[in-house]
Amino acid sequence: MTQKTVSRATFGRLSVGLAAAGVVAACSGESATNSAGSSQASTSDDVRTVNLGFLPGWTDGLSTAYLWKNLLEGEGYAVEFTELSDAAPLYTALAQGDVDVYPSGWPQVTHQDYMNQYGDQIEDLGAWYEGAVLTLVVPEYTDVDSIDQLAGQGARFGGRIVGIEPGAGLTRITREQAMPETYEDADGDEQQGYGLEGEYELVTSSTAAMLAELQSATDAQQDIVVTLWRPFWANTSFPVKDLADPRGAMGQAETLNSLARQGFAEDMPDVADMMSNFTLTDEQYGTLEDTVVNEYGEGRYDEGVQAWLDQNPDFRESLRS
């Protein structure tokens, strides 16, 4: 798929939406409250309501949540949203049964810590996207092509790597694996990082704030390093390039999965089957996110999903086994 370049006006609208989402977001470690004001997701007495939890700043989750809202309402289900600002409270809410499904989890690398902690309380309904990766990027005009070339050049980047939310897996991996001289992997083996600690500070805030800094720097043709990921529309909307990761410190490619609370498949087997059959190609994912986030945008996400389904008339049927 070719993602359409997003206009800066569109980015501005998205930033406002993300900021608004942050105002209502739950604090890390606290139970989530859904859009209906309930502290619990659906139960056996309320099997026709599905509560979807997601991070509005991660547009893969936002796009797929609105896609599932359309699909499930078409099947006669009611859909509620629980929007959170960080991954930690979302996984906590999922493990506690406060939300039914996180439709776009990153369980293998990015959210591995949360799966290690809560995996036995979560049902993995399967992968729907292959090849997701975490990256560090710089503007295309910056003459640095690999993470190891950042060492010794901290001054030109203001001694900063601009990150996203503090609880994001991308933040942890950048801080604990890419920036140290060495780190211990999941098997306890010592691995080589890039020795950037002391020269660079990882600045965390939010996805919207990171994108605002990226926009400001590229407008002014200044050097900047930011944390980013794929799939994400910003890769084609800003003049950026991935830095090579010859030591593999940013982790291997992973999948995006539909993650459910314990017992969800038994309570809602039809929905679980549909989610287990859910897959998107790179082209399908790109057109979905582009249509929902960029072409339609905040306040019109439902319209964007319907437009995408109109352009993909066989998709709904593909979910039926």
The answer on pLDDT for 130 being more than 60 is: yes
Residue carrying structure tokens 């082209």: 283
Look up tokens 């900047």; give the residue: 224
Mean pLDDT of 214-243: 93
Q: How far apart are CA 232 and CA 289, in angstroms?
A: 8
- What pLDDT is recorded for position 36? 37
Average pLDDT, the chain: 86
Share of the chain above pLDDT 70, in %: 85
Residues 97, 78: Cα–Cα separation, whole Å: 17
- Both tokens of 283, joined, read 């082209």
Q: Which of 1-15, 138-152, 215-229 has the lowest mean pLDDT?
A: 1-15
What share of the chain in percent tops pLDDT 90? 71
| pLDDT beyond 50 at 232 | yes
Judge whether residue 205 has pLDDT over 60. Answer: yes
Asked whether 46 and 240 are in contact (CB, 8 A), the reply is no
Query: Mind listing the pLDDT tens digit for each residue in 3-43?
Result: 222 332 233 333 323 333 332 222 233 334 444 333 345 54
What sign does the CA torsion over 174, 253, 85, 285 have? Answer: positive
pTM, two decimals, is 0.73
- SS3 sequence of the chain: CCCCCCCHHHHHHHHHHHHHHHHHCCCCCCCCCCCCCCCCCCCHHHCCEEEEEECCCCHHHHHHHHHHHHHHHHCCCEEEEEECCCHHHHHHHHHHCCCCEEEEECCCCCCHHHHHHHHHHEEEEEEEEEEEEEEEEEECCCCCCEHHHHCCCHHHHCCEEECCCCCCHHHHHHHHHHCCCEEECCCCCEEECCCCECCEEEECCCHHHHHHHHHHHHHCCCCCCEEEEECCCHHHHCCEEECECCCCCCCCCEEEEEEEECCHHHHCHHHHHHHHCCCCCHHHHHHHHHHHHHHHCCCCHHHHHHHHHHHCCCHHHHCCC
**Higher-pLDDT residue of 281, 227:** 227
pLDDT tens-digit map of 81-115: 999 988 999 999 999 999 999 999 999 988 999 99
Instruction: Return d(Cα 64, Cα 58) in angstroms, integer.
Output: 10
Residue 230 is predicted with a pLDDT of 86
Peptide bond before 313: cis, by omega within 30 degrees of 0?
no
Compute the average pLDDT of residues 166-191. Answer: 93
CA angle, 284 then 285 then 286, to 5°: 90
* Average pLDDT of the residues in 266-275: 96
Q: Mean pLDDT throughout 44-48?
A: 57
Q: How confident is the model over 173-202, as a mean pLDDT? A: 95
Residues, the chain, total? 321
Average pLDDT over residues 247-271: 96
Contact 133, 229 (CB under 8 A): yes
